[in-house]
């Protein structure tokens, strides 16, 4: 993204604002938050095309790094670890979202995670999120 991490990070970190910024998000509700605001339990809901999806996650903010970590604790993606990374590159910031989903379902968990949930839901929604944040920060430049 052609913007500094200091401009991108707040858009990624303030998940409660995502529904107003990201058209594919239906709602984000903060269920719990620590006094520092760096740890939140949130309920999130988005759309994958016409399919509604929702989950709960614990968000950990690390602005000094910068990085953002999510641990999914409710919904079909329970157990998924997500890390947002912000790497400075010449005149820009490389923003990546890494997902690790290990479904503890007997026999079919790996197949469902790797062939259905990951490519058709997680990567699609994350791709829309990154593309929209990119448009927002680059249009503000």
pLDDT in tens, 56-91: 999 999 999 999 999 999 988 888 999 999 999 999
pLDDT for the residue numbered 44: 97
Q: pTM of this prediction?
A: 0.90
Convert 7-35 into a string of H (helix), E (strand) and C (coil). Answer: HHHHHHHCHHHHHHHCCCEEEEEEEEECC
* Partners of 67 in the β-ladder: 62, 85
Q: What share of the chain is helix, strand, coil (3-state, %, to 5)?
A: 35, 40, 25
Do 8 and 84 touch, CB atoms closer than 8 A?
no
Q: What is the pLDDT of residues 99-130, one digit of tens each?
A: 988 777 667 766 666 766 766 678 889 999 99
Q: Which two tokens stand for residue 82?
A: 């997500």
pLDDT for the residue numbered 88: 95
């Amino acid at each position: 993204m052609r913007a500094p991490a200091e401009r991108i990070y707040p858009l990624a970190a303030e998940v409660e604002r995502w529904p107003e910024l990201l058209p594919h998000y239906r709602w984000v509700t903060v269920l719990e938050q620590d006094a520092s605001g760096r740890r939140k339990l949130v309920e999130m809901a988005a759309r994958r095309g016409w399919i509604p999806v929702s989950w709960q996650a614990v968000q950990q903010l690390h602005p000094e790094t910068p990085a953002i970590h999510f641990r999914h604790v409710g919904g079909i993606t329970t157990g998924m670890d997500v890390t947002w990374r912000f790497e400075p590159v010449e005149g820009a910031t490389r923003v990546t979202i890494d997902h690790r989903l290990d479904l503890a379902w007997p026999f079919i968990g790996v197949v469902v995670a790797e062939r259905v949930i990951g490519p058709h839901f997680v990567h699609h929604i994350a791709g829309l999120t990154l593309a929209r944040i990119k448009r927002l920060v680059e249009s503000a430049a």
